[in-house]
Structure 1
Amino acid sequence: MKLKEKCGVNGSLVGRGQTHLGEEHQALGKAVASAGAEVSGKQEANGKQEVPRKSLNMYTWQEIQRHNQQADQWLVINRKVYDVTGWADRHPGGRRVLTHYAGEDATDVFRAVHPQLDVVQLYLKPLLIGELAPGEPSQERHKNSQLVKDFQELRKTVEAMNMFDANLGFFFLHLAQILILEVLAWLTLYQFGSSWHVTIFIAFLLTISQAQSGFLQHDAGHLSIFKKSKWNHLLHKFLMCHLKGVSGTWWNYGHFRHHVKPNIYPKDPDSKLDPYFLVGDLQPVKYGKKKIKYINYEKQHLYFCMGMLPFSIPTYINLKSFRMMYLRKDWVDIAWVSSFYIRHFVTFGPFYGIFGTLLLIHFVKFLESPWITCVTQMSHIPMKMSIEENRDWLSTQVLATCNVEQSFFNDWFTGHLNFQIEHHLFPTMPRHNYHKVAPLVRSLCAKHGLQYVNKPMLTAFGDIIRALKKSGALWKDAYYET
């Protein structure tokens, strides 16, 4: 039997701590872990700790870089070469996450997005086909090896500082805040009735609850709050599907593509806003020279304020979420999201009826939309947008992100996404530790001449509009150029 046939569905690039794993993949993880334990037990019984393996094939970077197509994908992790082609369709994070790094060194991104590596290493073994030849550098030749080495040393430093250990009390308090707001909204309705001013107050409470639920599910989707993956998985489903009414699988597939290649067009789904909006410097010029005009992009900053700010969550995100659940026949997410609507109908239906309850749900999403849109876009739209340049992990993240000044309010209002640089460099780090590692990251950026951008929050909000206006002007100049 060939290696890939033996591998079956036991090859994976996502570990036990990845909370967004589906039930199928959790079962696979347990099966592989059990198999590994069985093999270990047999080795001990035979008086051996390790089974000798055949010598691996040696590859050059020139050979590896040829395997960068969807139907032919190799990755390099810690100088080991893996063929992930057969596994890509079963990857819990989606095929495209792997495709984005095909033919490249994926050491830092692999380490960044997997909270725990014990089971992940078992998944990787069947995919191993060779290693870099002794004379080859550990990453592509055009990359700054000293910068890569310094970042990996920084990673080891923050690991030694226990910066990846989650404080359960911190997350429990945030969950308690959300549940208290939900209960308070329900009690207010039952105590004071459904007059319009009471309804506005209830919507205000629910808007805060929804926004904070979004920030907490973001944590649950990235890191291991609990030691057992099934509890992380259930927490993420509860927060994203039950409390917010949005598919957790949809979030997983899109959000991790954003993380591995932020602001890289078209690999980052958050930067692919065309034809509705053009961002960065390259995309507007391309549209302008081709005389493409779906809207008047010169005024896109105004359309952003009138359209995307209030409607991105109640329309765009909801439609994307429902579409994925329908096309994938994701019955688990459909059941969880259904519980969101059932809870609202049971709680608010006696006062507002079915239609009125639906209006309340979408009114809350309408209020939440500008909040979440500004927080998620303030650190990316104003930053460098580019096509694929295959940069090192540190440069990729720092050039595409910026921070917002720290304060108690800023931390709460943004769910600590004001530390976007640290979050992108260390996605599995609990957000309560971002401020502790920020000085170390700033120092490393200064050493290598990378600009570490930190700005006031209102300036960051304004920069979204200014960046869209600048892109619109670039489109106009190219469009009307004779």
Structure 2
Amino acid sequence: MPAQQYVSLYTDLLQTVRDLGLLRRRQGYYVTKLSIVLGTLLVIVAGMVLLGNSWHQLWLAGALALVLVQVAFLSHDSAHRQIFHSNAWNDWAARILAGGVLGMSVSWWRTKHNKHHAAPNQADRDPDVQLKAVAFTPQAVVDRGPIGRWFAARQGWLFFPLLTLEGVGLHASSLRHLLRRDASRTDRVDAAIVLARITTYVVALYLLLPIGKASAFLGLQLAVFGVCLGAAFAPNHKGMPIVPAGTKLDFLRRQVLMSRNIRGGIFTDLAMGGLNYQIEHHLFPSMPRPSLRHVQPIVREYCELHGIAYTEVGLFTSYGIVVSYLNDVGLHARDPFDCPLAAELRSARGPNLA
């Protein structure tokens, strides 16, 4: 199929979605969501102050982590400009939610995340498959030393325990980005917000609680936050085809074939922040979260009509796929999931598929 025909397929789908009004902003939804999440956050902080020196604070540490995960989802939506009509309002909302509430850099995250959206699961372009801790390709295993290869052989089983460190890793990566020598003016603004949030939180926590309880609170909050946030992002692409370096694909197939949806109801929508509709989110990144479930049947039917594989599984099935995939890469140093386009692309003699 010529490249222009694939482009036309996405253009036609986009026009249908636009005509149905599914790209319109849903500010009422987001105002309600923001009010509930930030109100719950204030209740937890008040509870911490009233409870004082008690090991029961650890219950609030877990609750705080869960609420901060919801803040992260809202920051994600705002960074994708899903909330407000104004780009500036979306950008500042993302900066305040990410930097002021979470203590993370929205500029660092947006740069990385935009690269991921542009080329999901492409070995040489997607930063999410170029992690140092986890190997997603056989070459990444081969390039490691003995200890790294030992870890890679078990990385599937170790992946979810490692997520307990994800919160610390996100804070550290943000600070490395913001405090680099060539930081931009915007980065310096972000740095001031992030450092103020982290400092205020840590100082207040250690003033409120003895050092042992404060450390336990901080450690538990970061661990629960990392596991819950990582568990929401992990099923979306891991275990889907890895696109070889240098491969050019049209937008529709690139986003659909490399993404996985997760079946479920209201709880899944809440726990994953709408990212369970990963295919639809990648096709329409600025679409408000509540519209994703409405566009899903349209996208699925459209893909079936045009012979494009549409992947949707249950949550725990997806976790099993992730564990199996990572272990298989580490044990056998081969691709356990061949790209369904690889044979076609290798045999093609020059059609422009971009």
Q: Which TM-score tier does this pair reach, normalised by the shorter chain?
A: 0.7 to 0.9
Give the match for residue 115 of structure 2.
257
Distance, in Å, in 1 between the alignment partners of 2:110 and 2:243 is 23
1:252 counterpart SS class: helix
The yes-or-no answer on 1:192 pairing with 2:46 is no
- For the 8 Å contact 2:44–2:64, the answer to whether it is kept is yes
Give the match for residue 138 of structure 2.
284
Give the match for residue 376 of structure 1.
233
Judged with a 3 Å threshold, the aligned counterparts in structure 2 of structure 1 residues 173 and 298 are, in CA distance, closer, same or farther, namely: same
Give the match for residue 25 of structure 2.
166
Deviation of residue 143 (structure 1)?
4.4
For 1:156-182, what per-residue CA distance to the aligned partner results, in whole angstroms no more than 9, with x for missing partners?
111111111121121112212221222
For 1:295-332, what per-residue CA distance to the aligned partner results, in whole angstroms no more than 9, with x for missing partners?
3122121332332x211221x22221111101143220
Normalising by structure 1, what TM-score?
Answer: 0.64
Give the match for residue 158 of structure 2.
303
- For the 8 Å contact 2:98–2:104, the answer to whether it is kept is yes
How much is the aligned-residue C-alpha RMSD, in angstroms? 2.4
Query: Which residue among 313, 318, 330 is the counterpart of 2:171?
Result: 318
Judged with a 3 Å threshold, the aligned counterparts in structure 2 of structure 1 residues 232 and 455 are, in CA distance, closer, same or farther, namely: same
Distance, in Å, in 2 between the alignment partners of 1:444 and 1:426 is 14
- For the 8 Å contact 1:241–1:337, the answer to whether it is kept is yes
Judged with a 3 Å threshold, the aligned counterparts in structure 2 of structure 1 residues 355 and 319 are, in CA distance, closer, same or farther, namely: farther
Distance, in Å, in 2 between the alignment partners of 1:147 and 1:447 is 13
Length, aligned pairs only: 329
Name the one with the larger helix percent.
2
Deviation of residue 194 (structure 1)?
2.5
Judged with a 3 Å threshold, the aligned counterparts in structure 2 of structure 1 residues 143 and 249 are, in CA distance, closer, same or farther, namely: farther
The yes-or-no answer on 1:266 pairing with 2:124 is yes
Letter in 1 for 2:174: S
- For the 8 Å contact 2:81–2:91, the answer to whether it is kept is no
Judged with a 3 Å threshold, the aligned counterparts in structure 2 of structure 1 residues 286 and 342 are, in CA distance, closer, same or farther, namely: closer
Judged with a 3 Å threshold, the aligned counterparts in structure 2 of structure 1 residues 346 and 175 are, in CA distance, closer, same or farther, namely: farther
Query: Which residue among 20, 34, 49 is the counterpart of 1:175?
Result: 34
Letter in 2 for 1:436: H
Judged with a 3 Å threshold, the aligned counterparts in structure 2 of structure 1 residues 222 and 286 are, in CA distance, closer, same or farther, namely: closer
Distance, in Å, in 1 between the alignment partners of 2:47 and 2:312 is 40
Matching of residues 12-23 of structure 1 within 5 Å = none
Give the match for residue 12 of structure 2.
153
Matching of residues 75-474 of structure 1 within 5 Å = 143-197=2-56, 199-274=57-132, 276-279=133-136, 283-284=137-138, 287-288=141-142, 293=146, 294-296=148-150, 297-307=152-162, 309-314=163-168, 316-327=169-180, 328-329=182-183, 330-345=187-202, 347-352=204-209, 360-387=217-244, 388-474=246-332
Deviation of residue 219 (structure 1)?
0.2
User: For structure 2, which runs of at least 5 residues remain unmatched after alignment?
Assistant: 336-354
Deviation of residue 191 (structure 1)?
2.5
Normalising by structure 2, what TM-score?
Answer: 0.86
Distance, in Å, in 2 between the alignment partners of 1:361 and 1:235 is 25
User: For structure 1, which runs of at least 5 residues remain unmatched after alignment?
Assistant: 1-141, 478-482
Letter in 2 for 1:366: A
Letter in 2 for 1:321: S
- For the 8 Å contact 1:298–1:476, the answer to whether it is kept is no
Distance, in Å, in 1 between the alignment partners of 2:258 and 2:75 is 23
2:126 counterpart SS class: coil
Give the match for residue 348 of structure 2.
none
Distance, in Å, in 1 between the alignment partners of 2:210 and 2:95 is 27
Judged with a 3 Å threshold, the aligned counterparts in structure 2 of structure 1 residues 368 and 404 are, in CA distance, closer, same or farther, namely: same
- For the 8 Å contact 2:141–2:330, the answer to whether it is kept is no
- Stretch of structure 1 that moved more, 245-254 or 291-300: 291-300
Distance, in Å, in 2 between the alignment partners of 1:261 and 1:355 is 45
Distance, in Å, in 2 between the alignment partners of 1:319 and 1:143 is 45
- For the 8 Å contact 1:383–1:401, the answer to whether it is kept is yes
- For the 8 Å contact 2:58–2:217, the answer to whether it is kept is no
- For the 8 Å contact 2:82–2:286, the answer to whether it is kept is yes
Distance, in Å, in 2 between the alignment partners of 1:361 and 1:379 is 28
- For the 8 Å contact 1:207–1:364, the answer to whether it is kept is yes
Name the one with the larger strand percent.
1
- For the 8 Å contact 1:285–1:474, the answer to whether it is kept is no
Distance, in Å, in 2 between the alignment partners of 1:353 and 1:182 is 22
Distance, in Å, in 1 between the alignment partners of 2:70 and 2:298 is 28
Distance, in Å, in 1 between the alignment partners of 2:97 and 2:140 is 40
Deviation of residue 224 (structure 1)?
4.5
Letter in 1 for 2:7: V
- Stretch of structure 1 that moved more, 168-177 or 297-306: 297-306
Judged with a 3 Å threshold, the aligned counterparts in structure 2 of structure 1 residues 286 and 230 are, in CA distance, closer, same or farther, namely: closer
Identity of aligned residues (%): 27
1:195 counterpart SS class: coil
